[in-house]
């Protein structure tokens, strides 16, 4: 009945399904263990008539015009430039830490001196990873780097990942830079926006095709079995291709052990006032057990007299108890993942795609670009 099975209805799976259905005119069955499409981008209107992101804030930003053109087939956009504050020493200052942050936290004369030192070593409007800044030979920059490291970075990283920054892969630490400039926006990409009617509506339009059938609330392993190097679906050998976007260790029943992830407990709260905080997100690197508070009215304006906030409490991922959000990048974990990749290569009809299947972090635009590229190279060549 189906030419392709797509496991997972997030961006990776949905883009592949849409391309195969519309460009190859073949039939696809999407299987997802959740009760909804859209993966971690799923959003909905809450009891306050505010559009909330069920799995934490998702802000679309990219320099990739091809990705924007592709997704624009399925949604209109509203501009949104995300700004984040961090609660440090009783003040809320812009992050990534920038030249404006200097003057919020330090006396005028010291801030001016530190700014001059930064501009002497780095070009204006550039980003410097905090661990690189710590290695500076300039005593003033060493002082500044140590301050930022201790007050903004190290405790937040410990809460978010359960690891010290030095224990993390450089790709993770580079994601939290110091910005040598005065732009308070969290992102500097050309395109910064959110779908006008939400991500769920975008996915609904993307998957609205007669060649696409969707089976929700179903774990792939409930309907599929592995016999040697073949997959059996609903008790029969499946000869088509399987595009798998879920956790790779789960697919192979953890035969090489579990790949570790970080999870997050999402606590939504209704506040009986029109606004709760100054910006969309405020980080709390040193105080409280949660890492940040997001107020969704900043992202999707609403005339509700109340507002909805989200507090995020990072915690270890425990199988069957919570959601795997972030792969933990260490050399040991990467080596173990490669064992799964080698085993997956013995299945000729299996294609791995996405954050969980590839055990790496993707921004939304990156995974859309990756799926589009994979379709072009593997399915139309």
Summarised one tens digit per residue, pLDDT across range 56-69 is: 999 999 999 999 99
The residues near 232 (Cβ < 8 Å, ≥ 6 apart) are 224, 225, 226, 238
Domain membership of residue 106 (yes or no) is yes
Cα(293)–Cα(307) distance, integer angstroms: 12
Question: How many domains does the chain divide into?
Answer: 2
Cα(29)–Cα(20) distance, integer angstroms: 11
Domain membership of residue 200 (yes or no) is no
Q: What is the pLDDT of residue 248?
A: 96
Regarding whether 353 and 245 lie in a shared domain, the answer is yes
Q: What is the pLDDT of residue 168?
A: 66
Regarding whether 359 and 230 lie in a shared domain, the answer is yes
Yes or no: say if 41 and 203 are a contact pair by the CB < 8 Å rule: yes
350-352, strands of its sheet edge to edge:
212-215, 28-31, 4-7, 241-244, 350-352
Yes or no: say if 9 and 365 are a contact pair by the CB < 8 Å rule: no
Regarding whether 158 and 103 lie in a shared domain, the answer is yes
Q: Smallest Cα–Cα separation from 260: which of 187, 317, 334? A: 317
Regarding whether 374 and 251 lie in a shared domain, the answer is yes
Cα(316)–Cα(293) distance, integer angstroms: 19
Domain membership of residue 368 (yes or no) is yes
Yes or no: say if 299 and 194 are a contact pair by the CB < 8 Å rule: yes
User: Looking at the predicted structure, is the pLDDT value of residue 175 above 70?
Assistant: no
Regarding whether 143 and 24 lie in a shared domain, the answer is no
Q: Which domain holds residue 106?
A: 97-178
Buried residues in 155-167 as b, exposed as e (16+ CB within 10 A): bbbebbbeeebee
Domain membership of residue 308 (yes or no) is no
Per-residue pLDDT reduced to its tens digit, 141-171: 999 999 998 998 888 888 988 877 667 666 5
Regarding whether 340 and 253 lie in a shared domain, the answer is yes
The 10 Å Cβ neighbour count of residue 59 is 19
Q: Half-sphere exposure of residue 344, counting CA atoms within 13 Å on the CB side? A: 26
Regarding whether 156 and 11 lie in a shared domain, the answer is no
Regarding whether 233 and 163 lie in a shared domain, the answer is no
CATH classification of the domain holding 253: 3.40.50.720
Q: What is the pLDDT of residue 130?
A: 83
Regarding whether 121 and 168 lie in a shared domain, the answer is yes
Regarding whether 245 and 122 lie in a shared domain, the answer is no
DSSP character at residue 166: G
Q: What is the mean pLDDT of residues 70-86?
A: 98
Q: What is the pLDDT of residue 157?
A: 85
Domain membership of residue 225 (yes or no) is yes
């Amino acid at each position: 009945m189906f030419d392709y099975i797509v496991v997972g209805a997030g961006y990776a799976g949905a883009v592949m399904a849409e391309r195969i259905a519309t460009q190859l005119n073949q039939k696809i069955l999407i299987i997802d263990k959740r009760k909804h499409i859209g993966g971690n981008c799923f959003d909905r209107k809450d009891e306050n008539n505010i559009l909330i992101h069920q799995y934490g804030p998702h802000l679309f930003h990219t320099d990739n015009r091809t990705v924007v053109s592709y997704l624009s087939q399925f949604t209109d956009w509203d501009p949104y430039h995300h700004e984040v504050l961090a609660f440090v020493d009783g003040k809320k200052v812009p992050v990534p830490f920038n030249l404006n942050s200097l003057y919020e936290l330090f006396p005028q004369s010291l801030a001016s001196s530190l700014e001059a030192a930064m501009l002497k070593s780095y070009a204006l409007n550039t980003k410097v990873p905090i661990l690189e800044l710590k290695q500076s030979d300039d005593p003033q920059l060493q002082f500044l780097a140590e301050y930022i490291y201790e007050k903004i970075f190290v405790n937040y990283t410990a809460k978010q990942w359960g690891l010290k920054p030095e224990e993390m892969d450089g790709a993770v630490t580079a994601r939290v830079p110091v910005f040598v400039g005065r732009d308070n926006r969290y992102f500097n990409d050309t395109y910064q926006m959110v779908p006008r009617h939400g991500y769920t509506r975008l996915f609904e339009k993307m998957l609205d095709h007669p060649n696409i059938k969707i089976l929700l609330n179903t774990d792939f392993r409930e309907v599929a079995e592995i016999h040697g190097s073949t997959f059996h679906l609903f008790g029969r050998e499946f000869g088509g291709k399987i595009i798998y976007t879920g956790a790779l260790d789960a697919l192979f029943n953890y035969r090489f052990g579990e790949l570790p992830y970080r999870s997050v407990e999402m606590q939504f709260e209704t506040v009986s006032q029109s606004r709760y905080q100054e910006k969309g997100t405020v980080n709390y690197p040193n105080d409280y057990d949660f890492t940040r508070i997001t107020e969704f009215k900043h992202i999707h304006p609403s005339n509700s007299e109340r507002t909805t906030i989200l507090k995020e409490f990072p915690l270890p991922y425990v199988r069957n108890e919570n959601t795997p959000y972030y792969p933990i990048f260490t050399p040991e974990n990467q080596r173990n993942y490669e064992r799964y990749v080698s085993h997956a290569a013995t299945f000729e009809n299996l294609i791995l795609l996405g954050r969980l299947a590839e055990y790496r972090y993707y921004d939304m635009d990156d995974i859309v670009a990756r799926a589009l590229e994979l379709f072009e190279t593997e399915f139309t060549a």
